[in-house]
Amino acid sequence: MHFCVIKSRSLKIFAALLVVVVLLAVSINGSTSAQVFFGYAPRKVPIYSVDTSEKQVAISFDAAWGADKTEEILEILDEFDVNATFFLVGFWVDDFTDMVKKIDEAGCEIGTHSNTHPDMVKLDIESVSEELSTSVSKIEAVTGKKVTLFRAPFGSYNNQLLEVAESMNLKTIQWDVDTLDWKGLSASEINSRVLSKVQNGSIILMHNNSDHVLDGLRLILTTLKNKGYQIGSIGELVYADNYTVDRNGVQHQN
């Protein structure tokens, strides 16, 4: 008799738990009930890399301070017949307008890196919009070409930032290979970091005015080409539409 009571009670508990699991899995306006119940929402993620079977990678340069080495970067890219993406801050565009023209004339892609290089997570939605629209307008005024890519200063982002960028038809781009060239690493150290992390679909981060960017770039391009990688801009690597980005920031073609 006691066994039957215990068994009946266990079945009721199991049934109740099953109902709770089903209810928490129900979608409400794109979020599950569990996300609502436990107080968290789906976190948007930028593009860190691309899912591809091709040995293809993209190289990018953030430009916020200084331009002394930028022209030589362009010469090295041309020497290796490689395209790249430059993310420019608005005040950099103001200070180095002629260099922006040279980057564009060299056939390199230009994206925005904000207007004043703030931590945009700390800004309200109006300030975020102003940062993006102002910087985009400055770049487009110089190049006459539409800006489609955005990289957040410090790699700092939240849902609000990504949603505003998306509303302006900007893809937010991170990276999965950080050269850490801004730390003063030698060319050999920069190259070693790239080799230890690079894979098909990688996006490589460099800075246009870091100490050893020139020697580091030459060594990276030599090594990657010898390993059979095709190197280009981010726009040549990412999928333009009909894609998803998983929780790790990997872009997949649907």
182 in any annotated domain: yes
Same domain, 63 and 31: no
Query: Which two three-digit tokens encode residue 128?
Result: 């975020």
Residue 42: its pLDDT value, please? Answer: 84
Same structural domain for residues 229 and 249?
Answer: yes
Q: In whole numbers, what is the pLDDT of the chain averaged over residues?
A: 89
- The answer to whether position 42 is within a domain reads no
pTM, to two decimals: 0.84
**Among all chains, which residue has been given the structure tokens 């091709």?**
54
Q: Are residues 189 and 90 in the same domain?
A: yes
Per the CB < 8 A criterion, the answer to whether 180 and 216 are in contact is: no
Mean pLDDT, rounded, for 146-170 = 98
Beta partners for residue 27, in sequence order: 32
Q: How far apart, in whole angstroms, are the C-alpha atoms of residue 19 and residue 21?
A: 6
43 part of a folded domain: no
Span 1-21, pLDDT tens digits: 554 544 556 555 555 555 444
Whichever domain contains 107, its CATH number is 3.20.20.370
Domain that holds residue 189: 49-253
Q: CA–CA separation, 199 vs 176, rounded Å?
A: 9
Same domain membership, residue 84 and residue 59:
yes
Residue 109 DSSP symbol? E
Flag whether 44 is in a domain.
Answer: no
8 in the same domain as 121: no
pLDDT at 8 (0 to 100): 59
* Residue 120 contacts residue 131 (beta carbons within 8 Å): yes
Tell me which H or E stretch contains 214.
helix 213-226
Phi, psi of 81 (to 5 degrees): 55, 50
pLDDT at 33: 35
Task: Let me know whether 123 and 227 are in one domain.
Answer: yes
Q: What are the tens digits of pLDDT across the range 50-59?
A: 999 999 999 9
Q: What pLDDT is stored for residue 14 in this prediction? A: 56
Number of domains in the chain: 2
Q: Do residues 109 and 24 share a domain?
A: no
Query: Does pLDDT of 251 surpass 60?
Result: yes
The mean per-residue pLDDT over the stretch 108-136 comes to 98
Residues 146 and 87: their CA atoms lie apart, in Å, by: 14
Question: Do 22 and 57 share a domain, yes or no?
Answer: no
Q: Do 191 and 88 belong to one domain?
A: yes
CA 219, chain centre distance (Å): 23
